[in-house]
Amino acid sequence: MNIQTKQLEELLLANWTKFINIRELTNFATIQCNNPVKKITLSRFELLNDGFLVWAECHTNCDNYTVEFTINNREIKHLKTLKS
């Protein structure tokens, strides 16, 4: 059976706050951005073989960042942070 990956990503993006701890994600993003994060939105949630590739749009008082990371049942792994 094939998974409709585009529809899955849309579903995950619309409902991520129901299954990801927002406080933990905010703390993780604050470390990656080196600034307190005030708001986070997710813009990508791609299914991988062992988890998901996620892009978090992070807004601080001074700047905006995109934090790219992978997430699975065991860990969150930072890939890169880009200043917008």
Count structural domains, the chain: 1
Q: Which residues contact 66 (CB under 8 A, 6 or more apart)?
A: 43, 55, 56, 57, 58, 81, 82, 84
Q: Does 45 have pLDDT greater than 90?
A: yes
Backbone angles phi, psi at 5, to 5 degrees: -65, -35
Full residue range of the structural domain in which residue 50 is found: 5-83
CATH classification at residue 71: 3.10.450
Percent of the chain with pLDDT over 70: 100
Q: What is the pLDDT of residues 4-37, one digit of tens each?
A: 989 999 999 999 999 999 999 999 999 999 999 9
Give percent above pLDDT 90 in the chain. Answer: 92
Mean pLDDT of all residues in 31-51:
95
pTM of the model: 0.90
